[in-house]
Amino acid sequence: MKLNSFLQYIAFEKRFSTHTITAYKNDLEQFTAYIDKQYSLTSIEEVRHFHIRSWIVALMGKGITPRSVHRKLASLKSYFKFLIKKEYLQHNPTLKVVLPKTGKRLPTIIEEKAMGILLEDVVFTDDYKGVRDKMMIELFYATGIRRSELINVKIEDFQFERQVLKVKGKGRKERLVPYGSYLAELLENYLEIRKNTFSNNSNPYLFLTQKGNQLYPKLVYNVVKKYLSVVSTVEKRSPHTLRHSFATHLSDNGADLNAIKKLLGHSSLAATQVYTHNSIEKLKKVYEQAHPKSKIKID
């Protein structure tokens, strides 16, 4: 079903991340397996909108959340748009598909106080692993970078005198992210320990495994979850939670929304606006607690 051509397209022309490509591949393989099993369809030309609706119903029946269904359908829509663009198809069956409603979900964050406890009071070991783990969490929280971006940060990406980090984001777009003197000191200390630990290692990446190799996603996730679990009971304790916390804390402290957008590497301001909601909710609580007429009811 031209799947390999599509995956090459999003990898080399659209420059999607490896993680996104894998997600698209899994979604499309699930769909093709479903229509083959349920309708004995082996050609993409045979797919109609009701086949897609049936798949959505089946997903919902398995307990897949509306948000996840939206993501899977987004993969399918991109696939069909590609097929039409390349003139493999004449009609797009996804245009007639109505998505299930999703409720607005605020990003999960770690409170500022909890982050302060983690970075100031929690003890990290003083060997390479401990210093590296703390440096990873500090860098996540200080810059708001994504997990894939952190894994691919190289020492040469730092402009030490300017205290600026060059980040290669989604679609290989580059952005510059500033950092403060506190992080600069930690970075200097980390690089010294890294050099002493791997004296003959020419690996260019900033963070290494204990064997001197580039980090991998699961290791980064496990490190972040381990330490966030010490100071928080929120359900999601992932690198992306630190990214959400970075943006929300900036917004809470009065940072301009456009500046946050640039720091995060968002292409649209709409993607950044979600971080203002937590600030508004806090303001509502302050208002309800402090304003003398906030609790007065009109009979």
CATH no. for residue 81? 1.10.150.130
Is 170's pLDDT higher than 90? no
State the DSSP H helix or E strand holding residue 201, giving kind and residue range, or none if neither: none
Q: How confident is the model at residue 231 (pLDDT cuts 50, 70, 90)?
A: very high
Residues 30 and 134 in one domain: no
Domain-embedded: residue 107 = no
271 — pLDDT class (breaks 50, 70, 90): confident
pLDDT band of residue 29 (cuts 50, 70, 90) is: very high
19 falls within a domain: yes
Which of 15-24, 104-113, 156-165 is the least confident region?
Answer: 104-113
Residues annotated catalytic, as ranges = 146, 170, 240, 243, 266, 275
Bridge partners of 166? Answer: 176
Report in angstroms the alpha-carbon separations of 206 from 6, 56, 81, 129, 192.
33, 43, 39, 13, 12
**Does residue 291 carry a pLDDT above 90?**
no
Alpha-carbon span 207 to 201, nearest angstrom: 12
Asked whether residue 101 is domain-assigned, the answer is no
51, 41 in Cβ contact below 8 A? yes
Average pLDDT on 243-258 reads: 90
**∠ Cα 94 95 99 (to 5°):** 70
- Paired with 214 in beta bridges are 208
pLDDT at 226 over 90: yes
Q: Does the pLDDT at position 154 exceed 90?
A: yes
From 96, 129, 150, give the residue that closes a domain.
96
pLDDT band at 107 (very low <50, low <70, confident <90, very high): confident
293 in a domain, yes or no?
A: no
Query: Residue 88 to residues 6, 33, 79, 144: CA-CA distances in angstroms?
Result: 11, 20, 11, 41
Query: Residue range 129-139: average pLDDT?
Result: 97
Let me know whether 197 and 221 are in one domain: yes
What is the structure's pLDDT at 8?
Answer: 92
Among 40-49, 203-212, 227-236, the range scoring the smallest mean pLDDT is: 40-49
Q: Is 177 in contact with 159 (CB distance < 8 Å)?
A: no
231 belongs to a structural domain: yes
Checking if the pLDDT of 173 tops 90, the result is no
Instruction: Count the domains in the chain.
Output: 2
Q: Is residue 70 part of a domain?
A: yes
State the residue for tokens 């990214």. Answer: 243
Task: Assess whether 85 and 176 both reside in one domain.
Answer: no
The rounded mean pLDDT for the chain is 89
**What distance separates the 2 farthest-apart alpha carbons in the chain?**
78
- 265 and 170 Cβ atoms separated by less than 8 Å: yes
Residue 254 has pLDDT above 90, yes or no: no
Residue 105 lies in a domain: no
Q: Are residues 44 and 128 in the same domain?
A: no
Task: Tell whether 141 and 216 lie within a shared domain.
Answer: yes
Q: Is 103 a domain residue?
A: no
pLDDT of residue 283: 58
Whether residue 293 is predicted with pLDDT greater than 70 in this model: the reply is no
Same domain flag for 49 and 131? no
Whether the pLDDT of residue 1 is over 80: the answer is: no
The domain spanning residue 122 has which CATH number? 1.10.443.10
> Quick one: 47 and 194 in the same domain?
no
Residues 15 and 143 in one domain: no
Gyration radius (Cα) of the chain, Å? 23
Confidence of residue 105 (pLDDT cuts 50, 70, 90): low
DSSP 8-state class, residue 215: P
Same domain, 69 and 154: no
Both 36 and 148 in one domain: the answer is no
pLDDT of 292 over the 60 cut: yes
Per-residue pLDDT at 279: 62
Choose the final residue of a domain: 41, 70, 96.
96
**Residue 65 pLDDT greater than 70, yes or no:** yes
Pairwise CA distance, residues 128 & 193, whole Å: 6
pLDDT of residue 190 exceeding 90: yes
Q: Tell whether 228 and 264 lie within a shared domain.
A: yes
Same domain, 267 and 139: yes
Mean per-residue pLDDT for 73-95?
A: 92
- Could you tell me the residue range of the domain that residue 70 belongs to? 3-96
End-of-domain residue from the set 48, 63, 96: 96
Categorize the per-residue pLDDT at 284 as very low, low, confident or very high, splitting at 50, 70 and 90. low
Contact by Cβ (8 Å): 197, 215: no
